[in-house]
Amino acid sequence: MDRQDLIERLTADEMSTEVPASELDLIWFARYYQTVFSEDLNEAVLPLPLLLENLKLAREGNLTLAGLLLFGQNVGWRRPQFGIKGTIYLTPDEFRDKEDIDGNLFSQHQRGVDFILRNLQRRPQHHDFNAPGELEIPAAAIKEAVANALVHRDYFIHAAVAIDIFADRVEIASPGPLPNTVTVENIKLGIHLERNPILLSLAAKDPDFGYTGRGSGIPRILRLCLANHVPVSLINDVERRMFRVIFGRPDPTRRTPA
């Protein structure tokens, strides 16, 4: 296999970047390594360069895209197009607030979820106004949807994940429509195609990331929303080259503040 054939066979997350492996954030990686492998990084049998190569986080002395996105020190500077753009709209044409979220994917996930949750309303439970209200959209569904947007997106498309919060809905849009023969009906049943196998594999091992890597994310979102009477739509937008998860919100004129 020549070099061109190898490049054509590589997925986006496996491809080498121009970013030297010295830009690996050792604090993040050491924490991850300890959590996932129950071993201190300093006690690893393999030297760090070989370990990174084996995990497909580095190639020929440079970080792969997976290595950069998961453990790079300067993701926002090196790949600013691969962040999250969060916007809160007053009307479809007027926004109230916005936030650009960068950093590694673990940080993006946490900050993206927080961006949504702090802008949701809470609904009183059983008419008890003294009890903590429940979020209008289940937090676990939001966490899963943001994780899916980050690990399943098409990294050959240089665009950010978009989180748009409207009065009547929350939209999470990830660049790239569903790949190949995968359909909306397929993913409702848990069928998925691994577009970014390195990102998927490593993210699924982190207990805080909220991604299982088993195709169970979309079915779980649907179950959670059904149980909590939250409408949810899955839109494979081929024309605009994106996949959208849309959570409905209660009618704001009928919402009771917590």
To the nearest whole number, what is the mean pLDDT of the chain? 89
> Does the pLDDT at position 67 exceed 90?
yes
- Per the rule left: phi > 0, alpha: psi between -120 and 50, beta: everything else, 180 is left
- List of E strands, the chain: 16-20, 58-59, 62-64, 84-91, 94-101, 122-123, 134-135, 161-165, 169-175, 232-237, 242-248
Tens of pLDDT, residue by residue over 228-240, are 999 999 999 999 9
Tokens for 185?
């009906």
> Does the pLDDT at position 41 exceed 60?
yes
- Predicted pLDDT at 4: 44
Domains of the chain: 3-78 (no CATH), 80-248 (3.30.565.60)
- Model confidence, pTM: 0.89
> Does the pLDDT at position 36 exceed 90?
yes
Within 10 angstroms of residue 252's Cβ, the number of other Cβ atoms is 10
Within 10 angstroms of residue 183's Cβ, the number of other Cβ atoms is 13
- Predicted pLDDT at 137: 96
- Predicted pLDDT at 192: 73
* CA-closest candidate to residue 141, choices 222, 213, 200: 222
Q: Which residue has the higher pLDDT, 144 or 257?
A: 144
CB 165 within 8 A of CB 206: no
Mean pLDDT score, 183-199: 86
Cα separation, 148 vs 169, whole angstroms: 18
Mean pLDDT score, 182-207: 88
Cα separation, 114 vs 137, whole angstroms: 13
> Does the pLDDT at position 148 exceed 80?
yes
Within 10 angstroms of residue 227's Cβ, the number of other Cβ atoms is 10
Q: Which SS3 state, helix, strand or coil, does residue 247 take?
A: strand
CB 58 within 8 A of CB 68: no
- Predicted pLDDT at 132: 66
- Predicted pLDDT at 7: 44
> Does the pLDDT at position 211 exceed 80?
no
Cα angle 82-87-92, degrees, rounded to a multiple of 5: 125
Mean pLDDT score, 117-138: 79
Tens of pLDDT, residue by residue over 44-53, are 999 999 999 9
- Predicted pLDDT at 2: 46
> Does the pLDDT at position 147 exceed 70?
yes
